[in-house]
Each structure stands twice: as structure tokens, then as C-alpha cells.
Amino acid sequence: MNRIIEKKQLSAEVFEMVVEAPRIARSRRAGQFVIIQIDTEWGERIPLTIADADAELGTLTLVFQTVGATTHKLAVKAPGAYIENILGPLGNPTHVENFGAVVCVGGGIGVAPLFPIVQAMKDAGNHVSVIIGARNKDLVIFEDRMRRFADELTVVTDDGSYGKKAVVTVPLRDYCAATPKPNLTVAIGPPIMMKFCEKTTAEFDVPLMVSLNTIMIDGTGMCGGCRVTVGNETKFVCIDGPEFDGHHVDFDNMMFRMRSYREREDSDHHKCHLELGLEPIQAAGGAK
Ligand code: FAD
Ligand code: FES
Ligand code: MG
């Protein structure tokens, strides 16, 4: 049982929670994640990246977007309540060294998992440029925190309500086309965004590291739910990742697999809204 210490709403759909998990807080490293279960009898298991941790206080910071049933149920929990189960730290830590110039791109909720990587890259002596992308101003998160570590920060929104009106690949292209080129780029966000970051960086022959957010169940390499194709090989994101060379990931196959349970997810999401007294949703897959 892990107690929720603090909860903040960062935007209309994004929440930050500080939870007690002393052993994980002491051992976690940048790039790792946990799998949480809100209730052990019926609750599904969902992976969330460790956005930050305090080893002395024994706490983890999780940042999540309310996209479906489980994240909505988590969002209504108040400080003092418990998450029944937190498993971790899982996944391989980010490979951090002094690469030189690193450009880090975060889209939507991907900005939260990017934060510990930006911190670690800066601590290793890199010149770190950060690009934050969001659909609109209300969905921009972590700007102040990023500013503390980034040598340069660019914010873009799809509708131009904040920062530049652009998608993240526009400033990313500018960095890649400059001389000297970045030594490494890192992208975390929706699969479609990572796919286009791959195309942009490939054009200039710039290395790209991505952190994949496939469906996960056990998180220990047993179920196969998280499998992806990387360079014609099958990899399990939970134990081989979550970070991979973006130039070898089959993003189309990954996106196809992530839609596998859409109908059931929409139905659960709809039921959850009714249970929580929220507006009923009419999701793409047809809520029942
Ligand atoms: P649902 O309606 O059930 O699903 C909505 C979408 O979320 C699905 O279409 C699918 O794409 C994805 N999803 C559903 N179930 C799972 C599952 N068991 N595992 C993975 N994806 C799933 N989200 C954040 O908001 N913050 C994070 O820090 C974060 N870190 C992640 C780290 C990793 C390594 C991975 C793999 C995913 C991460 N995610 C993160 C995604 C998060 O796990 C999903 O948004 C969440 O599981 C959705 O659950 P739901 O029941 O609310 O929504
Ligand atoms: Fe089951 Fe990766 S989540 S093998
Ligand atoms: Mg779900």
C-alpha cells in the first residue's frame, strides 16, 4: 500500500501525484518507470514513468494524463488515500554520458518522462536544448521545471495559443540543419510524434533515442504484451527498453498493436465516467 502525499492538477487533463515508495525512490534512475494497480482485486496494471523522486523523503512523483478508466480513477484519489500496489523501478535507465549537444523533444504528457532525462543529460555536462509541444496553452506542462535545466527552451503549440504555432518537428529540423548538428536527439511523446521525429532526424543523419509507451501488463517480460519490432527483431519494451534507437523502431506496427483493445477501453472509460458522476463520453470506438 502506497500513500498519496500530494496531488496537483497541472492542466485540464494532467495530474501530478507524490506518493510514498521509499525503496523505489532510493534506487530509481532516469528513464525508469513503475507499474501501478489502484486496487488489486479488479484494477488493471498501468505503467507510469517516474518523473521525479526524493530519496530522503522516500517519495516518487508521477505525472499522468486522464485518457481512460484507470487514469480517471487515479485522478479522483485525494492525498491520504492509497494506491494498492506500485511495482518498480522497471525498465533500463537512460544511457547518459557527455554526448556534447543534446536536443530533447517532449510532446503532450511525454514532457513529464522527458524531465529526468533532461536533468541527467545536463548533470553529465551536455548542452541541452528542449522542445516542448502541446495541442494548446492549457496542455503545456513542466515549462518552469525544464527552464531550470535547459540551456535553450522552445515551446510550440498546435493552435498557436502559446509559444510558436508549430509542431515539434519544425524547431527540431532547425537544430538538425544547423552546423554543428546535435550529437543526440531524444523524443518522448505520442507514437505518431516520435515517428515524425524519426523522419526529421534521419534526413540529417542525427541519432535519435525514443522511449516507447506500448501496452504493458506484467512489466517483467512474461506476457509479451509490450512487444515491438526494432531492426527486424522482436523486443519487449518492459525489459529491453523502454528506450530504443528511434531509427530502427517499426512505429506503424507499434501503433497498430496499441489499438488492439480500443473498444474495451472505450467501454470501460464510458462506464467509469458514469461511476464518477462525470459527463458520459462518446468515444471513437463507440462507448457501451
Ligand atoms: P485506457 O482507455 O485503458 O487506454 C488509453 C490508451 O492508453 C490505450 O489506447 C493505450 O494506448 C494506452 N494503454 C492502455 N492500457 C495500457 C497499459 N496497460 N499499458 C500501457 N498503455 C496502456 N502515461 C502518463 O500519463 N504518464 C506517464 O508518465 C506514462 N508513462 C508511461 C511509461 C511507459 C513505459 C508506458 C509503456 C506507458 C506510459 N504511459 C504514461 C501511458 C499510460 O500507461 C496509459 O496512458 C494508461 O495505461 C492508460 O490507462 P487508462 O485505463 O486510463 O486508459
Ligand atoms: Fe509483459 Fe513486457 S509487459 S512482456
Ligand atoms: Mg485502461
Is residue 33 assigned to a domain? yes
Average pLDDT over residues 79-89: 95
pLDDT at 267: 67
Average pLDDT over residues 59-79: 93
Q: How far is the CA of 254 from the centre of ligand 3 (A)?
A: 17
* 86, 110: one domain: no
* 86, 132: one domain: no
Quote the mean pLDDT of the chain: 91
* 105, 207: one domain: yes
CA dist., res. 48 & res. 32, Å (int): 9
pLDDT over 50 at 285, yes or no = no
Range of the domain at 189: 101-211
Q: What is the DSSP string of the chain?
A: -EEEEEEEE-SSSEEEEEEE-HHHHHH--TT-EEEEES-TTTPPEEEEEEEEEETTTTEEEEEEE--SHHHHHHHTPPTT-EESEEEEEESPPP-----SEEEEEEEGGGHHHHHHHHHHHHHTT-EEEEEEEESSGGG--SHHHHHHH-SEEEEEESSSSSSEES-THHHHHHHHHSSSPPSEEEEES-HHHHHHHHHHHHHTT--EEEE-----SSSSSSS-TTEEEETTEEEEHHHH-SEEEGGGB-HHHHHHHHTTTHHHHHHHHHHHHHHTTPPP---TT---
pLDDT tens digits, one per residue of 237-277: 999 999 999 999 999 999 987 776 666 666 666 666 667 76
pLDDT at 41: 72
Is residue 219 assigned to a domain? no
Confidence at 12, pLDDT banded by 50, 70, 90: confident
* 123, 206: one domain: yes
pLDDT at 39: 82
**Closest ligand to residue 73's CA:** 1
Last residue of a domain, one of 211, 236, 258: 211
Average pLDDT over residues 146-155: 97
pLDDT tens digits, one per residue of 188-241: 999 999 999 999 999 999 999 999 999 999 999 999 999 999 998 999 999 999
CA dist., res. 105 & res. 209, Å (int): 10
* 171, 108: one domain: yes
Average pLDDT over residues 173-190: 97
Last residue of a domain, one of 63, 90, 117: 90
pLDDT over 90 at 19, yes or no = yes
Domain count, the chain: 2
Percent residues over pLDDT 70 in the chain = 90
The protein residue whose alpha carbon is closest to atom 4 in ligand 2 is 221
Is residue 269 assigned to a domain? no
pLDDT over 60 at 33, yes or no = yes
Percent residues over pLDDT 90 in the chain = 80
pLDDT tens digits, one per residue of 104-141: 999 999 999 999 999 999 999 999 999 999 999 989 99
Is ligand 2 within 6 A of the CB of residue 219? Answer: yes
Is residue 274 assigned to a domain? no
Range picked from 9-18, 66-75, 158-167 for highest mean pLDDT: 158-167
pLDDT at 265: 65
- Provide residues with CB under 6 Å of ligand 1: 33, 44-49, 63-65, 67-71, 109, 112-113, 213-216, 242, 258, 262, 265, 269
pTM, full prediction: 0.89
> Which ligand 2 atom is nearest residue 223's CA?
1
Confidence at 287, pLDDT banded by 50, 70, 90: very low
Output the domain CATH number for residue 28.
2.40.30.10
Is residue 107 assigned to a domain? yes
pLDDT at 45: 92
Is residue 255 assigned to a domain? no
* 71, 6: one domain: yes
pLDDT over 70 at 2, yes or no = yes
* 22, 84: one domain: yes
